[in-house]
Structure 1
């Protein structure tokens, strides 16, 4: 680049995206004089899904702003809780976030997930078509222009991933209301109507059941219920009571 020189700094939570020499604070950058600030930010490694307010000499500007010589640019992080305009809050998770998808569904959060890798173009198009927030650890995927909305998942640990999403978006929680396998809605079911799906030991031991309206999978409080209940209780304790 052989254009105006600007000065740019990134909020601490965004510094993992940029080169090491830009992680300590304000640094100089020579631009081409025609690229937008959004393009400059992304070219330095930060997906725009993770950028909050952009300031030029302390004044908020849009991603379409073209930086002028000598401007002091600050790139702030996304304000939390993040407001997503338009459709009801729904998520789409990429192929690497299956555990997070199941935990969100456990809490009653609408979380679409494909166990097969659809590819970046198809995922971005699905996000736009169904107006879902795409959750991913793939920075390239989050930079696709057709994406409706997205968010980077900062941790590779499911516990931290779940807490991060709940803190960032504050979705309404309705535990035990969704199928963890297909994301469908659950309904109470009597034993007589689901017994053909049950093994004899389960029929003898349990009396309370729920069934998915979509895939007909049957649920009961089995051996893993205490572990799942601990996840639910912790989420409710940190992020509010379930919806009525």
Structure 2
């Protein structure tokens, strides 16, 4: 029997039973257990982990554990650069794109509103999400731990918040997305890029008040919806701006 000592840090403790949180604890391991196998067996999705130290040395997810190993597991680092050590994934994604599971439709729409390519269907199966994420280089967003444990998922976020607006703020701040926003460039329904369209080309489709008060319009080539910067646009803009404000800021 192989026994190792584990210590999880910061928000990774949220996945653990209360008696294991914020302290070292010993756990039995299978003889050929890897760090990934044990981390997930203890309840933490591997996509939540940024750095693993075994006996003080950085290792990857496929490292084989030995009897007596001391394992420290860290989440995403915000305060300092760990590049000289080693991240558990080979490289970051070049483009920030998402795929959201069936319970996160509201979040998917808000991410599209902020300009982030986000796939969503309410009938996605877990295996389908994992396959699409791997093929297209997408970050999986879910409240299902088992989905994030899927071997094909290399980048993912467990969403802690319940309401869509708070979920958006959580993802925007956790992944530091403020500088990557391009609000109102994607269709909220189709996820397709919006294109400018001349007012005269859509004049007959506009409500009378919109014809009088607005001059700038965009459209989605898939669903043919027309968008303009009205009061609804202003409310959505306020929501997006609030999502990148640090918690507790005025």
Instruction: Report the TM-score range of the alignment, normalised by the length of the smaller protein.
Output: 0.7 to 0.9
- Check conservation: 2:114, 2:240, Cα contact below 8 A: yes
More off after superposition, 61-70 vs 43-52 = 61-70
- The whole-number CA distance in structure 1 between the counterparts of 2:216 and 2:184 is 13
- Check conservation: 1:185, 1:214, Cα contact below 8 A: no
- The whole-number CA distance in structure 1 between the counterparts of 2:48 and 2:144 is 12
Q: How many residues align?
A: 235
Partner SS, residue 25 of structure 1: coil
Q: For residue 139 of structure 1, what is the aligned residue in structure 2? A: 145
1:223-234 equivalence runs, <5 A:
223-234=231-242
Q: Out of 145, 151, 159, which is 2:157 matched to? A: 151
Q: For residue 161 of structure 1, what is the aligned residue in structure 2? A: 167
Q: For residue 226 of structure 2, what is the aligned residue in structure 1? A: 218
TM-score (norm 2): 0.85
RMSD, aligned α-carbons: 2.3
Partner SS, residue 211 of structure 1: strand
- The whole-number CA distance in structure 2 between the counterparts of 1:37 and 1:237 is 35
Partner SS, residue 224 of structure 1: helix
Would you say 1:55 and 2:63 are equivalent positions? no
Quickly say closer, same or farther: Cα 1:233–1:12, change in 2 above 3 A.
closer
TM-score (norm 1): 0.87
- The whole-number CA distance in structure 2 between the counterparts of 1:37 and 1:236 is 34
More off after superposition, 32-41 vs 202-211 = 202-211
- Check conservation: 2:47, 2:154, Cα contact below 8 A: no
- Check conservation: 2:165, 2:243, Cα contact below 8 A: no
- Check conservation: 1:80, 1:169, Cα contact below 8 A: no
Compute the displacement of 1:94 (Å). 1.2
Q: For structure 2, which runs of at least 5 residues remain unmatched after alignment?
A: 80-86
Quickly say closer, same or farther: Cα 1:159–1:194, change in 2 above 3 A.
same
Compute the displacement of 1:103 (Å). 1.4
Would you say 1:126 and 2:132 are equivalent positions? yes
- The whole-number CA distance in structure 1 between the counterparts of 2:226 and 2:34 is 52
Quickly say closer, same or farther: Cα 1:39–1:5, change in 2 above 3 A.
same
Q: For residue 187 of structure 1, what is the aligned residue in structure 2? A: 195
Compute the displacement of 1:150 (Å). 1.4
